[in-house]
């Protein structure tokens, strides 16, 4: 299994704080059946700054540590970029790190709102040759209240990633319900852990995929698995057309 979103690098953000924490997270990931994981530290979120070169260096150090510990987990470099007006300039300056050096770029919104310039920025990122992946949209209050906005982003080329913990109810019933609605409406393309530790923000990937298989069927189960592999291979991911007519009440478009 591949996990495309984690905070496993030690001492760089609100995830693992020490190398021991990273090792514990790696062991927990392997226990979940994860063999490949992308480290995606927060960047430009108002608290943490983690640029490309720093992340690449720390991923190399962590992979060496895991090899010495005989932990069968490969860590790939990535970054979770809070949306801001300087993304294109930062790309040109080499500060931004797409997931595993691919065309896919994580974009995070603040938990309470979506900035007005988001539509234009997501478009500009695509014009620059990248595919924005909006992380944990189910945990954004504005998108929860106005899911039509997310529909518009996806219809115009953005992808999204839902958190495994949201699927299994770790963030409350309303977020769990919204997560399942996003899956049903074909408005998400990846399931990932967004793991920060081994306790309150663990992986729960196996449980999430079990629930998806039971509640949504094998097509979604296999699509989400395959999409993570396609992403790290820099290939086009599988997409089902976003539901509009069947989900019009949910989307709030009519």
Q: 254 pLDDT band (50/70/90 cuts)? A: very low
pLDDT at 241 over 80: no
Tens digit of each residue's pLDDT (9 = 90 or more) over 157-182: 999 999 999 999 999 999 999 999 99
Alpha-carbon distance 89 to 71, whole Å?
Answer: 38
pTM over 0.85: yes
Q: 240 pLDDT band (50/70/90 cuts)? A: confident
Cβ neighbours around 64 below 10 Å, total = 10
Alpha-carbon distance 245 to 64, whole Å?
Answer: 51
Q: Which neighbouring-strand residues pair with 184?
A: none
Percent of the chain with pLDDT over 90: 94
Range with lowest mean pLDDT among 13-17, 161-165, 186-190, 243-247: 243-247
Q: What is the DSSP string of 36-91?
A: EEEE--EESSSS----HHHHHHHHHHHHHHHHHTT---EEEE--EEEP-TTHHHHH
From the list 41, 36, 40, the residue with the least C-alpha distance to 66 is 36
Query: What are the structure tokens assigned to 146, written together?
Result: 């106005």
Q: What is the pLDDT of residue 218?
A: 96
pLDDT at 106 over 50: yes
Report the chain's mean pLDDT, rounded to a whole number: 95
pLDDT at 253 over 60: no
Percent of the chain with pLDDT over 70: 95
The DSSP call for residue 24 is H
Q: What is the pLDDT of residue 4?
A: 98
pLDDT at 144 over 50: yes
Q: What is the pLDDT of residue 166?
A: 98
Q: What is the average pLDDT across 124-150?
A: 97
Q: 249 pLDDT band (50/70/90 cuts)? A: low
Distances (CA, A) of 230 to 106, 121, 175, 239: 15, 24, 27, 12
Tens digit of each residue's pLDDT (9 = 90 or more) over 59-103: 999 999 999 999 999 999 999 999 999 999 999 999 999 999 999
Rama region for 81: left / alpha / beta (φ>0; ψ in -120 to 50; rest): beta
Cβ neighbours around 199 below 10 Å, total = 8
Evaluate whether 215 touches 177 at the Cβ level (below 8 Å): no
- Which domains can be identified in the chain, with CATH numbers? 2-251 (3.20.20.140)
With b for 16 or more beta-carbon neighbours within 10 A and e for fewer, the 224-237 pattern comes to bbebbebbbeeeeb
Alpha-carbon distance 204 to 217, whole Å?
Answer: 19
pLDDT at 185 over 60: yes
pLDDT at 248 over 90: no
């Amino acid at each position: 299994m591949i996990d495309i979103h984690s905070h496993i690098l030690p001492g760089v953000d609100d995830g693992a704080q020490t190398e021991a924490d990273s090792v514990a997270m790696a062991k927990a990931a392997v226990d979940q059946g994860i063999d490949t994981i992308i480290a995606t530290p927060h960047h430009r979120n108002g608290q943490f700054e983690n640029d490309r070169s720093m992340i690449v260096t720390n991923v190399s150090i962590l992979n060496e540590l895991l090899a010495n510990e005989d932990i069968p987990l490969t860590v790939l470099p990535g970054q979770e970029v809070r949306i801001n007006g300087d993304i294109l300039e930062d790309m040109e300056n080499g500060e931004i790190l797409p997931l595993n050096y691919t065309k896919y770029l994580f974009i995070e919104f603040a938990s309470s709102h979506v900035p007005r310039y988001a539509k234009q920025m997501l478009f500009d990122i695509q014009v620059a040759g990248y595919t924005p992946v909006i992380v944990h949209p189910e945990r954004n209050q504005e998108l929860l209240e106005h899911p039509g906005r997310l529909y518009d982003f996806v219809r115009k080329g953005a992808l999204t990633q839902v958190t495994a913990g949201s699927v299994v109810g770790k963030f409350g019933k309303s977020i769990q319900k919204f997560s399942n609605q996003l899956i049903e409406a074909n408005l998400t393309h990846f399931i990932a852990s967004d793991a920060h530790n081994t306790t309150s923000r663990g992986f729960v990937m196996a449980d999430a995929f079990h629930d998806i298989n039971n509640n949504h069927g094998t097509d979604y189960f296999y699509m989400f698995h395959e999409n993570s592999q396609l992403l790290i291979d820099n290939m086009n991911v599988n997409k089902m057309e976003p539901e509009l007519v069947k989900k019009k009440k949910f989307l709030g478009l009519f």
